[in-house]
Chain A
Amino acid sequence: MPGLGRAALVLALGLVLYAVLAGGYASLSGRRRLGDSARNALVAAFVACLAAGGVLLAAFLTDDLSFAYVAEHSSRDLPARYAFTALWSGQEGSLLFWVTILTGMGSVAVLLNRRLVAEVLPWTVPILAAVAGYFVIVLVFVSSPFETQAAPIDGAGLNPSLQNPYMMIHPPMLYLGYVGLTIPFAFAMAALASKRTDERWIFATRRWTLASWMFLGFGILLGSKWAYEEVGWGGWYAWDPVENAALMPWLVATAFLHSVMVQEKKNMLRVWNVVLVALAFGLSIFGTFLTRSGVINSIHSFSQSPIGAWFLGFLCVIAVFSIAMIMWRLPILRSRTKMESLVSREAAFLYNNLFLVAFALTVLWGVAYPMVSEAVRGVASTVGAPYYNFFGVVFGLPLVVLMGIGPLVAWRRASLRQLGASVAWPAGVAVVTGGVLLAAGAGSSLLGMVGYTFAAFVIAAVVLEFVRGTRARKSLGEATWVGAFTSLVGRNRRRYGGYIVHASIALLLVGAVGIGVYGTTSIRKLEPGQTMEVGGYTLRYLGSTQDRVANRTELRARLAVSRGDKPLGTLAAGKNRYLEGSREVSNEVGIRTDWLRAQDLFVIADRFNADGSVWLKVLVNPLVNLIWISGLIFLLGALVTMWPDAREQRRLAKRFALARA
């Protein structure tokens, strides 16, 4: 069996190498049939990768511990539903997963755009194949998932903190996002190589970019939800390098999604867009590398990690290649249109881009700082949450303001007076919200007040746009309000889908501010029968229990919760001790969501003492559930923006028919 997997990978290697060479030669010489053959080789490589993945999955399902990778990441008693999780829980498996998605997505993208790729952008195929080739080489020669060994009695088991439903979908979501960013990169570079620097590469890849961006964004929030429930320190985002790894390409992709609109409408920012797409792709590779190699804290692990040097080399190749391509085509890439006014929609997009990219780069600097400082001074230095929080506020707040103003500014040139008139309503709503909040006692935190009022501003601006648009459609002859609303959104999916995403980000801000500055924490040691009070809740410690469940011992502190005179039931918090493998201990927090008060009671059983007492850390997290809800709204908005639209297809066909004539 491992031989079959290895053979599939070698076959995949041969196929992608053929796709690179034949595709490159076909592009140079204009041989279409050879180009088609290179494309088919890419599709065949996908099938080969799929076969290799199938072999590995079968090994997990049958507990074939002669696979070293299976023995390291699974055990006989691991439920079958975690076979997939185990498959990508390690380095080799996740790289295999990566290249399978890449060849799959790449195949679909070139097949869907068959004519465009064959006639206009033939370089797409060899570029995609080259990226895939890198991963296949690593899989074949450096980090193979098909190493064999004498089968041990049992495997090391899957890390218990990964045995969680969110962890089944969070990594593949992120990977779809990371990998998906290869598609716009390959088309953009192909456009440069083929001297076709018009907007066709953007239209061909718009939905791929949107989908990758959606997967990344939603994946980050799924990871947060997992961390909130499973890691259980009481927060949701910790600026951990692995989290930042996904945040950076997401920020740059967000900038890209905005700036392509300027290129489509005004034919500006053409160089900038190619730079952004290359940066987003580079950061997605860097992100994969961070999560999968362990070089974050010390430069020394470069020499320890077998794939460290490979990744670093690949990153350098990407950087050099992208810069060379852009410099080479700079003369034909430069836009001939200039920005007319600093108060206009395109200017708002530009500011948004600068803040987003600046934020992404400061995060990158923070992530790379330990490595850089160690290389330069010999002593690694780290930057912590204060660094990220500072820049999150400095770059985030202007972004929030722009999110409210941007949609209200006219293209080309807007007068400040017009602008003032159109933001008057949302600004008024924000001021009133601020007043109400002050009266309600939220004034204890300036940052909290700023965050809430800014979020109110954005949401008011979004609602205003929906109301105006619906009213306009109603007056155009739609019979009902509902009909007017649906036809408004249906005819302008990108625009109104985008507004839904804006609203979701504003909600996320409200949730993040709520838990960030208005939460309460209390740490107490309780004997059985004793009580403690936190944020209006009373917790009585009833005692602890210890149960043997499947492969673990569950230790729980049981608490009776009440508010005023009203009993609210019991809550359990504790730890699981896993009996096999590496004998991990996992933290099992108790969470009680109070929808009416929009807050979570969050209990961590920090320490069980021998005398029966327990150390409890209890938090009241206000509005944290808005963060999860905002994730669903984000998903909805993103889906609306990329929903297929026949009208748009006809418009595009017309546009390029004219351009060619």
Chain B
Amino acid sequence: MVALSVAAVLAVFLLYTSFAGGATESLRPSQIVAGDYAGKGVQLAGIVIGPVTGDARGSGLRFRLKDFDGKQTVPVVYKGSVPDLFRGGRHVFLQGALENGTFVGKPDSLVTKCPSKYAPKKTSSS
């Protein structure tokens, strides 16, 4: 009985991964630049580096994303709604794909990591 139900759950799982394609890879700027990700839909996570120019409702908001713990950056262009907490220095992630060296964000996919709900700021104090 138990074995049967475990098997059933696993079957459902396989069904899902086969038809929905499973998970999105979540990359840091250094990984997307180094790897072969051109044109492939991924999630990019990093720290916003100014200057932030352009218009998210017009031709697109332009900024760069940097590794959390490195120097590599990648240019980003994004259209859609911009979270209130978005600004230089914030941890953000967004969906999209790398096209000609620029990460083109999927509209309305930009999310900032809530600053206080998760990690305390002084995580490096240990």
**Residues of A near any B CB (own CB < 8 A):** 72, 89-91, 142, 159, 161-162, 242, 291, 293-294, 296-298, 300-301, 304-306, 339, 350, 354, 358, 361-362, 369-370, 373, 379-384, 386-387, 390-391, 394, 525, 575, 582, 584-587, 604, 606-607, 615, 617
* CB within 8 Å for A294 and B118 given contacts A382-B24, A394-B12: yes
- Identify the interface centre among B16, B27, B68, B120: most chain A CB within 10 Å of its CB: B120
Interface magnitude class on chain B: 35 or more
Q: Please give me the residue from chain B that is nearest to A342 by CB atom.
A: B1
Cβ contact within 8 Å between A380 and B25: yes
Secondary structure of the A contact surface, majority rule: mixed
CB proximity of A269 to chain B, nearest CB, Å: 11
**With A354-B5, A585-B84 as contacts: A91 and B26 at CB distance below 8 Å:** no
Q: Which chain B residues lie closer than 8 Å to A387 at the CB level? A: 16, 20, 23
Query: B85 is contacted by which of A298, A301, A394, A585 (Cβ under 8 Å)?
Result: A585
Q: 7 A-B contacts, Cβ less than 8 Å apart?
A: A293-B119, A294-B119, A304-B119, A362-B13, A585-B85, A586-B84, A607-B57
B119 touches which one: A305, A362, A582 (CB < 8 A)? Answer: A305
Q: How far is the CB of A69 from chain B (nearest CB, A)?
A: 10
- Which residue of chain A is the closest to B21 with respect to CB atoms? A386
Q: Does B82 contact A (CB under 8 A)?
A: yes
- Residues in B5-56 with C-beta less than 8 Å from chain A: 5, 9, 12-13, 16, 20, 22-27, 31, 43, 45, 56
| A156 CB, min distance to chain B CBs, angstroms | 8
Contact A373 B123 (CB under 8 A): no
B77-121 interface with A by 8 A CB criterion = 81-82, 84-85, 93, 113-121
B-side residues, CB < 8 A to A, are: 1, 5, 9, 12-13, 16, 20, 22-27, 31, 43, 45, 56-57, 68-69, 81-82, 84-85, 93, 113-126
Nearest opposing residue in chain A for B45, CB measure: A297
* CB within 8 Å: A-B pair count: 103
A89–B23 contact, CB under 8 A? no
- Judged by DSSP, the binding face of B is loop
Docked Cα-Cα span, A354 to B45, in Å, equals: 36
State the 9 A-B residue pairs at the shortest beta-carbon distance, nearest first: A294-B119, A306-B126, A381-B23, A585-B84, A294-B118, A159-B116, A380-B26, A304-B123, A383-B23
CB-based contact A384/B27 at 8 Å: no
Q: Decide: B25 and A306 in contact? CB cutoff 8 A.
A: no
Contact B84 A162 (CB under 8 A): no
- Shortest distance between the CB of A588 and any CB in chain B (Å): 10
